[in-house]
Amino acid sequence: MDDLTQEIDKAHWRKSSLSGSDGSDCVEIAALSAGRRAVRDSKDPGGPALILTPGQWTAFVTGVRNGNFG
């Protein structure tokens, strides 16, 4: 198991406050080393996680705020 996989497995995941109230469409975020963020589907915690660099995370958050993913 590589270092990133171990870090993701041990990460503290937080559910988005904007996730669906019925438990659907839930996204979880975890802070990783080097300012990276991991994003995953809360319904599949063992599934893949998207790893974002600090710059990618900033662009992602900006896109969410601007409604680009709606």
Q: For residue 36, give its domain range.
A: 3-65
Q: 3-class DSSP state for residue 57?
A: helix
- pTM value surpassing 0.85: no
**How many distinct structural domains can be found in the chain?**
1
Let me know if residue 42 belongs to a domain.
Answer: yes
Across the chain, where does the E strand assignment appear? Answer: 14-15, 27-31, 37-41, 50-52
Let me know if residue 70 belongs to a domain.
Answer: no
- The Cα 54–Cα 35 span in angstroms is 5
Instruction: Give the model's confidence band at 34: pLDDT under 50 very low, under 70 low, under 90 confident, else very high.
Output: very high
The pLDDT, as a whole number, for residue 70 is 74
CA dihedral 63, 61, 29, 4 (to 10 degrees): 90
- The Cα 69–Cα 3 span in angstroms is 31
Let me know if residue 31 belongs to a domain.
Answer: yes
